[in-house]
Structure 1
């Protein structure tokens, strides 16, 4: 009987332990960088001096967080900047 209970407890522990808890981490980029959030666009930011647009991925699993960013490319495969006057994302080279 003890072996059955131990097997069930061990099985449940492994089952729940392997799924993990993944949640989105904090995105306080204004505190430590020159990235500015683009209104209405989730995960899109522009660099304050160059206005180049970046997509940011920021996640955490248990107590460890990780994230990365990449330049944002348009549907045409071109890098983009953010025009603060018109509040539009513009392809570089237009």
Structure 2
């Protein structure tokens, strides 16, 4: 049992340093992988799905009017421009 340790009954200074640096690198790598996985999953949830069709321009315009982003005059002007641009 006494032959198990080459440097007496423990590690020397370099051994402690290597073990500490290895532990810091291990936890840093583990945390980095976890953060990157979380960000990738979060970005995938933000992307609009391809199966959901885009809302028509008139519907978006009506929603903006309902939210108060534009006034009625601006709504009518843009609606006229949209309808005149259709083929």
* TM-score of the alignment, normalized to the shorter chain, above 0.5: no
Q: TM-score, normalised by structure 1?
A: 0.30
Larger strand share, 1 or 2: 1
Larger helix share, 1 or 2: 2
Q: TM-score, normalised by structure 2?
A: 0.32
